[in-house]
């Protein structure tokens, strides 16, 4: 059996670069033969505010399709092989399914969902919305996958409600069947390597630094962070993407910082606050989105405080007081932060259920 790893283009400043190296290692540890399907070099300049380059990603995926098609033509794809897409939003899965079924090659396919038009705060949701072509394309990709992987229950619920017109309560029997058959799998992401990667940054001396580690996109609400910066000059507020840091520089800065701040309106997982927690950086996050199920109460603030810029101004004094409490009583929060790290590591940043499907 081969695992064909249909990867996501690597951007130096994103975790996709680490996945290029670490995912094949993880899969080989489980005694799998791994064949990576890469689209080659990709543009490092992402479309402003986005996760990837909107033009370059299609060049990358087109090259992946050529490799997949050639493998079928050469008889390299065998019964029992598994194709794992590290980004489920990849139209080549439709053509993969086409070849497998017409050639009667019995493969399994899994896809990891990150976002899509079904998320109103995502680029696809904001710029394309519910146009029939994109919603039907996403439904088709979902049907092509034997296993659709999601990192959080929040993401699953949003997907079912906005794309599939299914709420867990509205059509419980249908949804339960999807889970029982493995069509939908709540699996953490394969990021077990992060603890070892960040170990060297854990004991750096802390400074009064508060980080904004998110993309510079509307749904991340940078204006709130910048207003706090003006209002609290006693602390250093740093917007990471403005610094153009490489991974080592970013992790060093993370190790120096006491806090990570979020006012995000979109988050289906949230990797940066987990990275922060691994180096004893306190998260301050809203009680909404994926944070709601992942975070301890002590690290969340009421969602309405930052539901909009207008709402932020109404609750600004409360936010400032909470930041001061975290910063001035930093040491008191470290035991709780240890508990938070354990929850995140076990439930959301390890992918046992995904690995089990590959071995089934």
Cβ atoms 278, 195 nearer than 8 A: yes
CATH architecture of 194-347: 3-Layer(aba) Sandwich (3.40)
Output the tens digit of pLDDT for each of the chain's 360 residues.
Answer: 899 999 998 877 678 888 999 999 999 887 789 999 999 876 545 555 445 678 888 999 999 999 999 999 999 999 999 999 999 999 999 999 999 999 999 999 999 999 999 999 888 999 999 999 999 999 999 999 999 999 999 999 999 989 887 554 457 778 888 999 999 999 999 999 999 999 999 989 999 999 999 999 899 999 999 999 999 999 999 999 999 898 899 999 999 999 999 999 999 999 999 999 999 999 999 999 999 999 999 999 999 999 999 999 999 999 999 999 999 999 999 999 999 999 999 999 999 999 999 987
Six token digits for residue 266: 């979109």
- Return the pLDDT at 266: 94
Cβ atoms 300, 286 nearer than 8 A: yes
Q: Do domains 2-189+350-359 and 194-347 have the same CATH topology?
A: yes
Nearest Cα to Cα of residue 152 among 203, 109, 114, 99 = 114
| b/e 236-251 (16+ beta carbons within 10 angstroms → b) | ebbebbeeebeeeebb
- Return the pLDDT at 53: 74
- What's the rounded Cα separation, in Å, for the pair 62 and 147? 23
pLDDT, one tens digit per residue, over 257-274 is: 999 999 999 999 999 999
**Domain ranges in the chain?**
2-189+350-359, 194-347
DSSP structural state of residue 104: T
- Return the pLDDT at 182: 92
- What's the rounded Cα separation, in Å, for the pair 345 and 277? 10
CATH architecture of 2-189+350-359: 3-Layer(aba) Sandwich (3.40)
DSSP structural state of residue 287: S
């Amino acid at each position: 059996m081969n695992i064909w790893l249909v990867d996501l283009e690597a951007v130096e400043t994103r975790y996709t670069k680490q996945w290029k190296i670490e995912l094949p290692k993880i899969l080989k540890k489980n005694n799998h033969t791994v064949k990576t399907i890469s689209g080659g070099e990709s543009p490092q300049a992402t479309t402003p505010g986005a996760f990837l380059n909107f033009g370059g990603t299609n060049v990358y995926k087109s090259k992946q399709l050529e490799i997949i098609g050639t493998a079928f033509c050469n008889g390299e794809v065998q019964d029992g092989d598994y194709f794992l897409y590290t980004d489920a939003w990849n139209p080549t899965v439709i053509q993969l399914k086409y070849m497998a079924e017409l050639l009667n090659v019995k493969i399994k396919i899994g896809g990891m969902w990150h976002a899509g038009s079904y998320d109103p705060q995502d680029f696809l949701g904001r710029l394309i919305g519910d146009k029939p072509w994109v919603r039907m394309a996403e439904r088709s990709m979902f049907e092509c996958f034997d296993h659709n992987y999601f990192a959080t229950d929040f993401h699953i619920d949003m997907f079912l409600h906005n794309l599939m017109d299914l709420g867990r309560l509205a059509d419980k029997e249908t949804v339960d069947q999807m889970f029982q058959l493995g069509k939908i799998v709540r699996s953490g992401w394969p990021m077990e390597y992060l603890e070892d990667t960040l170990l060297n940054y854990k004991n750096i001396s802390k400074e009064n630094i508060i980080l904004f580690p998110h993309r510079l996109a509307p749904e991340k609400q940078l204006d709130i962070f910048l207003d706090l910066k003006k209002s609290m000059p006693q602390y250093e507020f740093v917007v990471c993407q403005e610094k153009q840091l490489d991974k080592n520089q970013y992790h060093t800065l993370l190790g120096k910082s006491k806090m990570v701040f979020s006012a995000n309106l979109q988050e289906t997982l949230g990797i940066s606050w987990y990275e922060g927690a691994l180096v004893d950086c306190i998260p301050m996050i809203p009680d909404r989105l994926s944070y709601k199920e992942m975070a301890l109460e002590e690290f969340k603030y009421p969602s309405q405080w930052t539901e909009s810029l207008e709402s932020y101004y109404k609750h600004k004094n409360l936010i400032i007081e909470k930041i001061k409490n975290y910063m001035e009583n930093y040491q008191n929060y470290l035991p709780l932060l240890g508990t938070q790290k354990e929850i995140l590591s076990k439930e959301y940043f390890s992918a046992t259920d995904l690995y089990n499907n590959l071995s089934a």
